[in-house]
Amino acid sequence: MPSERKLAEQLEVNRSTVILAYDELRALGIIESRMGSGTRVTKYKWGATPKHTLNWQRYVKGGNFLPNLPFLRRVREALEKDPSLIDFASGELGADLSPLEEINALMNENQHTEYLGYDNPQGFAPLRESLVSFLDEYRNIQTSDSSILITSGSQQSLYLITQCLLTPGDAVAIEDPSYCYSLPMFQSAGLRLFQLPIDDKGMRPDDVRSLYKKHRIKMVFINPNYQNPTGTLLANNRRTELLKVVSELGIPIVEDDPFSLTAYEGTPPAPLKSTDAVGSVLYIGSFSKIAASGLRVGWMVAPRSVVERLADARQQMDFGLSVVPQRVAAQFLKSSYIDPHLDRLRMELIFKRDVLIEALERELPDIVSFTIPQGGLHLWCKILPVVDGNKLFEEAIKKGIIFVPGSVYGSDDGYVRFTFARPKVEDIDQGISKFAKALRAVLD
Amino acid sequence: MPSERKLAEQLEVNRSTVILAYDELRALGIIESRMGSGTRVTKYKWGATPKHTLNWQRYVKGGNFLPNLPFLRRVREALEKDPSLIDFASGELGADLSPLEEINALMNENQHTEYLGYDNPQGFAPLRESLVSFLDEYRNIQTSDSSILITSGSQQSLYLITQCLLTPGDAVAIEDPSYCYSLPMFQSAGLRLFQLPIDDKGMRPDDVRSLYKKHRIKMVFINPNYQNPTGTLLANNRRTELLKVVSELGIPIVEDDPFSLTAYEGTPPAPLKSTDAVGSVLYIGSFSKIAASGLRVGWMVAPRSVVERLADARQQMDFGLSVVPQRVAAQFLKSSYIDPHLDRLRMELIFKRDVLIEALERELPDIVSFTIPQGGLHLWCKILPVVDGNKLFEEAIKKGIIFVPGSVYGSDDGYVRFTFARPKVEDIDQGISKFAKALRAVLD
């Protein structure tokens, strides 16, 4: 067969189109490519015309598990297609904020010589032990290693909870807006979602009571510290009230707390779990937003019976996590690197936030409004004129930047989530000019 | 509060009982333990009597996702409780067979300096590229990196397939006996399982045709090379026939191929995928049985549309795998270590197998029978007299060894799976004497 380049020229199509076609034919076993010796029709081509052709599309469309939101699939495609896009969409730290040198140093200091067998279903014991002290010292949570489940991140913690602790048809309460709406896993688990509207002080505990009366909600999902996407901090009186309400109702709270240690100034806000008198709170934490998302290390603090149920299920899903990144995480938590890293992280986040705010105020005065976040990775930006979120999103990609449209989080078109932790400082300013051009183009 | 030791003495109970009780009270937030300063009742104890107590058991018993088989939970408990048990149960390589020095050397040679962000949903690109050459050279499978999905092992590959490509109520065909019966995930996905009985040449392709006629099976799960648990090798004429049958019926095969590179003598058997003319085969491979299960690195070769569907779902379940072990795996595949390691692995497996066989023939002549495996990690042992599998299992644990009872794999009480790859050579002989004592005790 001609080379991909040649065929693309002959047919006057984009080379990537030919690459795709060749991939499909390879997957079907009709052609094969060998290193060096190019692509040829496989010697088994005689079989290429079965009586019934296997219809993969039927299978791909099957399954209870729902595909991701089109907007988020579009984000992924766009970033894969054009890595030069200025990325305000990926909810993670940029390379400049991750403790890569520290992690590398720790990996060199501590050579891996132990047996690399299947891990404890609850997660690497030394990591759970380091977490006991870390959670006590940094989050004022007193727990024991047997009450900790190591997960591959908050996402897996939420997935296990929705799959194992809730039954299809169950009603749950979720903040509005919330990153939870970007997770079809709730629908895949057959849950009915009810909204807890948030204002500048977070959600209102009374709403939990009324949702319970109306719908017998079984669980409340909360992201109280620098909420994703709004950046809101749940007010202290509401925290006390919320704990009171759920303990009266006898339902649990899932507290997702990935951002609190990024608190820009002063002591980080205490988690609900630290004043959870009756054990209503399933506490979820992670390394992803404070160190490196690529380690894939998160944790859950829960009653032993819950930890065991979820650990058992997780064994069946992926047979547990690799010990290698868990060892690094355990060493990092025990190391002297953690405090200096968190200090640097906070300073850099303030700096990036301010660069973003300056750019927005310069480029789009009177067109956007926002509350200045005091922690976290995101800025939640309201666009004052009426705008078509989809058009704006596509126009911005054309202009060379990408963000997550507010509609993904269950709010209306007029919002945008900018993750300022991800792009390089020097790109933030330029990115916002591109965004401004895109917005103006759509508004005209 | 008194220390755990003190209270155990006062109440004259086992200390572990007190530790458990304290853990539960800690989880409920009723007591708290601080490093050095012992355990005390938390200052929030006032809240410890809510109007409705939260009933965690109701939640733990909820969820569509089924708990693991009692026998397998029992195996895990027993091994956690007494690590000195001689372990013929864990289906993995022992430390003596894993390339730990090689892996450690590779980690030192290749310091991790790249950005540790979220990985590509399909898996670390350099690993997928190394796999393209590895699969071509070692398995005669020609594919491209876009048709490969990196998973945390075969378990996750199977989980994604059952969750995303099959719909509750679908019928699937599974070998009998098969490790698949040890995976409640099939039931959790609401699938109807139909059996393909295996003889000394593996399953019979005609059975697929008749199951399709009767039940319209949607997929066939096969473990053709040194099948788990029986060690059977699917005969060549049956492979050809099977591929013919499924291509006529237009249904896919899931080929799980973890053991083929352990082939004790001669060239490893070719996978079905290598002669898959029409793309009927989803091919699953893994590092777990040939290198180190603790890396948690496996792979799937599938049509691009399938890879994309499963990658999208996996993002929602755990947000992808850590890059760290994937880098090590990629380096290992490209390194000069792999061939010497596989040669050593095969020799050691033959040696361990022979030690096991000698011990069985010495200790239990005329009481057990088995086919000598030519590859893989397991020996499938038939117990000739009628025996209560449950009694034998518990008695063996008392005597200090553990194995997996045949009933876990869907066969009757009279079988035992011995994984000889896991225990130390010096323990195999002793372990079988203990097993013989247990068996005699149960038979008397």
Q: Judge whether residue A194 has pLDDT over 90.
A: yes
| CA-based nearest residue to A385, from A406, A363, A366 | A366
Tokens linked to B90? 């864990």
A150-160 residue pLDDT tens: 999 999 999 99
Cα atoms in the 13 Å half-sphere on the side-chain side of A155: 23
E strand intervals along A152-295:
171-176, 192-199, 202-203, 219-222, 253-256, 281-286
Residue entry with tokens 């699969």: B135
In chain B, whose CA is at the least distance from the CA of A135? B34
The domain spans of chain B are 4-41, 70-96+340-443, 100-336
The pLDDT value given to residue A211: 97
| Subunit contact A68:B315, Cβ cutoff 8 A | yes
Specify the DSSP element, H or E, that contains B316: helix B304-318
CB atoms within 10 A of CB B261: 20
Rounded Cα distance between B9 and B29, Å, is 24
Smallest CA–CA distance, residue A442 to chain B, in Å, is 30
The answer to whether the CB of A360 falls within 8 A of the CB of A370 is yes
Query: pTM value?
Result: 0.88
Tokens linked to B6? 């003190």
| Subunit contact A95:B115, Cβ cutoff 8 A | yes
Smallest CA–CA distance, residue A353 to chain B, in Å, is 20
Cα B280 to Cα A55, A434, B200, B221, B303: the distances in Å are 10, 47, 25, 12, 9
The residues facing A195 across adjacent strands are A174
Contacts of B396 (CB under 8 A, 6+ apart): B402, B403, B434, B435, B438, B439
Residue entry with tokens 């190019």: A38
The pLDDT value given to residue A322: 94
Return the SS3 of A63.
coil
E strand intervals along A4-152:
31-34, 38-41, 86-87, 148-151
Specify the DSSP element, H or E, that contains B351: helix B338-363
A357-396 residue pLDDT tens: 999 999 999 999 999 999 999 999 999 999 999 999 999 9
In chain B, whose CA is at the least distance from the CA of A323? B294
The answer to whether the CB of B204 falls within 8 A of the CB of B223 is no
| Subunit contact A59:B306, Cβ cutoff 8 A | yes
| CA-based nearest residue to A325, from A363, A280, A291 | A291
| CA-based nearest residue to B342, from B284, B273, B265, B272 | B265
Q: Which of A10-14, A52-56, B59-63, B256-260 has the lowest mean pLDDT?
A: A52-56
| Subunit contact A317:B320, Cβ cutoff 8 A | no
A to B CB pairs, distance under 8 Å: 380
A contacts of B303 (beta carbons < 8 Å): 24, 27-28, 56
Rounded Cα distance between B405 and B383, Å, is 11
A417 or A8, which is more confident?
A: A417
Which whole number is the average pLDDT over A406-428? 93
Which residue blocks in A140-204 are alpha helix, DSSP H? 154-164, 185-188
Confidence class for position A344, pLDDT limits 50, 70, 90: very high
Which whole number is the average pLDDT over A38-46? 69
| Subunit contact B121:A76, Cβ cutoff 8 A | yes
Smallest CA–CA distance, residue B365 to chain A, in Å, is 33
The pLDDT value given to residue B44: 54
The answer to whether the CB of A158 falls within 8 A of the CB of A352 is no
In terms of Cβ atoms closer than 10 Å to its own Cβ (0-12, 13-18, 19+), residue A286 is buried
Peptide bond into A405 cis (omega under 30): no
Rounded Cα distance between A20 and A23, Å, is 5
The answer to whether the CB of B75 falls within 8 A of the CB of B402 is yes
Q: What is the ipTM score, two decimals?
A: 0.87
Specify the DSSP element, H or E, that contains A128: helix A125-139
Contacts of B97 (CB under 8 A, 6+ apart): B345, B348, B349, B421
A281-321 residue pLDDT tens: 999 999 999 999 999 999 999 999 999 999 999 999 999 99
Rounded Cα distance between A65 and B188, Å, is 13
What dotted CATH number matches B100-336?
Answer: 3.40.640.10
As a whole number of Å, the end-to-end CA separation of chain B is: 50
- The type of residue at B32 is E
A contacts of B189 (beta carbons < 8 Å): 64
- The type of residue at A316 is Q
Which whole number is the average pLDDT over A35-56? 67
Smallest CA–CA distance, residue B385 to chain A, in Å, is 34
Residue-level pLDDT, tens digit, chain B, 444 residues: 888 888 888 888 888 888 888 877 776 667 877 767 788 887 655 444 445 678 888 899 888 888 988 889 999 999 999 999 999 999 999 999 999 999 989 988 887 777 888 889 999 999 999 999 999 999 999 999 999 999 999 999 999 999 999 999 999 999 999 998 888 899 999 999 999 999 999 999 999 999 999 999 999 999 999 999 999 999 999 999 999 999 999 999 999 999 999 999 999 999 999 999 889 999 999 999 999 999 999 999 999 999 999 999 999 999 999 999 999 999 999 999 999 999 999 999 999 999 999 999 999 999 999 999 999 999 999 999 999 999 999 999 999 999 999 999 987 779 999 999 999 999 999 999 999 999 999 998
DSSP per position, A281-300 = EEEEEESTTTTTGGG--EEE
Rounded Cα distance between B222 and B211, Å, is 15
Sheet holding B281-286, edge to edge: B148-151, B298-301, B281-286, B253-256, B219-222, B171-176, B192-199, B202-203
Q: Judge whether residue A59 has pLDDT over 50.
A: yes
Confidence class for position A141, pLDDT limits 50, 70, 90: very high
Q: Give me chain A's average pLDDT, please.
A: 92
| Subunit contact A278:B26, Cβ cutoff 8 A | no
Tokens linked to A70? 């089109």
Task: Out of A117, A303, A325, name the one closest to residue B324 (CB).
Answer: A325
DSSP, res B189: T
What angle do helix axes A389-399 and A70-81 make, rounded to 10 degrees? Answer: 10
In chain B, whose CA is at the least distance from the CA of A324? B325
CB atoms within 10 A of CB A357: 18
Q: Tell which CATH classification among 1.10.10.10, 3.30.160.150, 1.10.357.10, 3.90.1150.10 matches the domain B70-96+340-443.
A: 3.90.1150.10
| Subunit contact B188:A316, Cβ cutoff 8 A | yes
The pLDDT value given to residue B121: 94
Cα B100 to Cα A3, A74, B131, B377: the distances in Å are 41, 41, 20, 18
Task: Out of B108, B116, B243, name the one closest to residue A98 (CB).
Answer: B116
The pLDDT value given to residue B47: 45
CB atoms within 10 A of CB A412: 11
Which whole number is the average pLDDT over A18-26? 80
Q: Of how many residues is chain B composed?
A: 444
| Subunit contact A27:B303, Cβ cutoff 8 A | yes
B contacts of A146 (beta carbons < 8 Å): 23
A74-120 residue pLDDT tens: 999 999 999 999 999 999 999 999 999 999 899 888 877 788 888 89
Tokens linked to A92? 């993670």
A165-197 exposure pattern, b = at least 16 Cβ within 10 A, e = fewer: bbbeebbbbbbbbbbbbbbbbbebbebebbbbe
